[in-house]
Homo-oligomer: A and B are copies of this chain.
Amino acid sequence: MKVLDKINCSKCLKSCTMDELDVLSAEIREVLINKINSTGGHMGSNLGIIEATIALHYVFNSPVDKIVFDVSHQSYTHKILTGRKEYFIDPEKFNILSGYTTPSESIHDVFKVGHTSTSVSLACGLAKGRDLLGDNYNVVAVIGDGSLSGGEAFEGLNNASMFKSNMIIVVNDNEMSIAPNQGAIYENLKLLRESNGTYEHNFFKTLGFDYRYVDNGNDVRSLIAAFNSVKDINHPVIVHIHTLKGKGLAWAEENKELGHWEKGKFAGGGLTYQELTMNYLKEEVQNNKKAFVITAATPTALGLTQEFRDIAKERFVDVGICEEHAISFASGAACSGCTPIICINSSFFQRAYDQFQQDLALNNNHVVILVYNGKITGGDATHNGAFDIPFTMNVPGVECFAPSYVEEYFDCLDYAIHRANGPIVVRVPSSVIRCDNYVASDLNSYALNKTSDVLIMGLGNFYHLAKETAASLLKLGVNVDIINPLVYSEISSANLEKIKDYKLVVTLEDGIVSGGFGQMIAASLSKYGIKVLCYGQDKDFNDLVSLDQIYEKCHLKKELLTKDIMKYL
């Protein structure tokens, strides 16, 4: 019988011997490798934190004691230990759980999180509430070294240290962010590791923290001793543990960046937009003396491979996990005469909304922002790409493009990098679809020949859906016009002139309808009394809902659209 067999809740751990906990670590490691290899997921961070998670649940009493995982991409062992092991063991249940802590799954998950650097602030809130209400429990934040570069982590530490009550911050230092760590704090962590925590210039101590160091952060006994020593402590303390990212899986230990995320066996093939973009940028950084590329910690996920980085050299900058800095940094570089190109995920871009508006748009500096994965997304609401259209298009002075085809995308890139002179956002399309007869032209002029009273405006990825819907309507004998608007930050008066004589206009956008392109079109047309139907995602988080279900619910399928449109004819 396996040790894991008898672990049905975190309390079950308490009766285990140390030797059993060692065995349990090995068993969980095997379970995780098998499961992640099959479904994909965060490999390295989860393999590195198995022992620490066991030790946390051995020492603390969740859910009374609160354990807050930063990003929570490393919470798989936590899930296994808190009543959810079958979802990691039984292949039929592999794709049911969220990859992040999710309160609706378990009382042991305190917050739904998936963005970085927030755990210390959340823990401060728990501690404040506990103290005000006269409650008495441990508050534990678990934050990786990579997350420390995010500004909010510093904001949290700066406040946490001032608490006069229990607050335990576990810094899980596996010497890596998603990609290699960036920034001065990592030099300090290195010196702390090398001195077994005794280096005198200690970042955490300058912030007033009590501090403990555990060099072997993959040794259950050492961890339990350290956590026991801080349990019920009456002041804030940092427990700095040194763990091995990818532990137990040779290739993930070896290549920590590739080992961060395993695609799983169902990963697709074919040239991606990540690769197409990387190839394009490769030319730019070699031939354009002003251009350079910025990423905030996610080069691999965005296709900026080691090969690219080697070619780009000083024309590639990974600033680490700090989107705010990335945007202001780019605005500064544009001011000095360069043309920075920021590659960023839709869901993380929103972390720099203020910098985007104030430091960049208000200053009208020439920065190109390529938004990856800007699209309606199934699965976890923490990594949702549906929101970038509203938060980019409603900022004054920004030109926003959502191309539909490879050739059109390249045309937008060429305009954005070489011909524009202010801030530009380009939504990187999702499916690689080529346009054989693409003709470069004014990017903001609707090529429209009115042949019907009905117009479908298919923005970006959804131009293809517009085409399919038009074809489906044609089969029913209804001819409609379609347009690929491309620009979503405005409708020019010339373009408005071209569409204001339709009787019905249907807008489709691959994002949330609320505050987006369709509503802007509806408002632009509403003074003419034209009927407008706006399609996109409902204003809803859709956590753990499949993409197909969202499409179904929001009628983003050609059959449903066809039916809807027929009703209005």
Contact = CB atoms under 8 A, between A and B. Distances in A.
B394 A514 contact: yes
Given A203-B207, A353-B353, A515-B393, A532 B539 contact: no
A216 to B, nearest CB: 24
Interface string A498-534: 0000000000000011111011101101111111111
A566 to B, nearest CB: 14
A264 interface: no
A183 B358 CA distance: 26
Contact of A113 (B161, B358, B528): B358
Contacts of A390: 390, 394, 515
Nearest to A382: B358
A354 B351 contact: yes
Contacts of A320: 155, 158-159
Contacts of A397: 541
A315 interface: yes
A130 interface: yes
A1 interface: no
Contacts of A330: 125
Top 6 A-B pairs, shortest CB-CB distance:
A125-B332, A151-B151, A129-B336, A158-B183, A121-B328, A161-B184
Interface of A: 66, 68, 103, 110-115, 117-118, 121-133, 135, 149-159, 161-162, 182-185, 187-188, 200-203, 205-209, 289-290, 292, 314-315, 317, 319-320, 322, 324-325, 328-338, 340, 350-351, 353-355, 357-359, 361-363, 381-382, 387, 390-391, 393-394, 396-397, 490, 512-516, 518-520, 522-523, 525-534, 539-541, 543, 568
13 contacts: A66-B336, A118-B355, A126-B332, A126-B335, A127-B336, A128-B292, A149-B158, A154-B154, A158-B182, A159-B320, A353-B391, A522-B522, A527-B531
